[in-house]
Amino acid sequence: MTGFKSKAGAGLLAALSALALSGCGRSITSTPGEAPNLEKWVAEVRARPAPPLEQIPLMQQFESFEYAAQNMRDPFSTAFTNNNEGSGPRPNSQRRKQQLEQFPLDSLDMVGTLGLGSRVVGLVMAPDKVTYRVVPGEYMGQSDGRVTAVYEDRIELVELVPDGAGGWLERPATVALEDK
């Protein structure tokens, strides 16, 4: 009985497929009279004149430049960088480093002051969570920062930074008391 159902199902499937394909055949083939209209339209489009082309822009003539640097100073020579060795501020290599010079300046936090008037001592907390006393003349930060003044709300100092030409520049810096 199972063989009968499978043969009937296969026959029904074949009949439906043939019916579907016969319906598609009519839409694929064109009716007589459609092809000449298409050929006529293609002929009309080809007969239209092409739009005019834009003119090619004229190229600018550039002046040539001759690079002649034989008589000029070499920008990579060390003669230029050693001119400032004797003048200007310099870090004291003989000076013994102080405790707060092992930390970057931006990692130090001012946490308060002790004293009044001209005898104010700044309190600075380092990343090691130790609070240090700071007075003018001491050093802090990794750029030879010498403390110039201690106020109730800030500590002012001057750092020595390389200028890129073999010399040093003084740069003012401040460590301010944080509001909490």
What does the pLDDT read at residue 87? 65
In a domain, 48, yes or no: no
In a domain, 145, yes or no: yes
What does the pLDDT read at residue 23? 60
In a domain, 43, yes or no: no
- Please, are residues 175 and 110 in contact by the beta-carbon 8 Å criterion? yes
Domain count across the chain: 1
The three-state secondary structure class of 123 is strand
In a domain, 105, yes or no: yes
SS3 string of 4-42?
A: HHHHHHHHHHHHHHHHHHHHHHHHHCCCCCHHHHHHHHH
In a domain, 58, yes or no: no
In a domain, 146, yes or no: yes
Q: Give, for all 180 residues of the chain, the pLDDT tens digit.
A: 455 556 777 777 877 777 676 665 444 445 555 677 888 899 999 999 988 888 888 888 888 888 777 778 777 776 544 454 556 788 888 889 999 999 999 999 999 999 877 789 999 999 999 999 999 999 999 999 999 999 989 999 999 998 888 888 999 999 998 876
The structure tokens listed for 9 are 């199902």
In a domain, 147, yes or no: yes
Strands across the sheet with 145-150, in order? Answer: 139-140, 145-150, 154-162, 168-176
CATH of residue 132: 2.30.30.830
Q: Which contiguous run of DSSP H or E holds residue 2?
A: helix 2-28
Domain that holds residue 107: 99-176
pTM of the predicted structure, to 2 decimals: 0.52
In a domain, 113, yes or no: yes
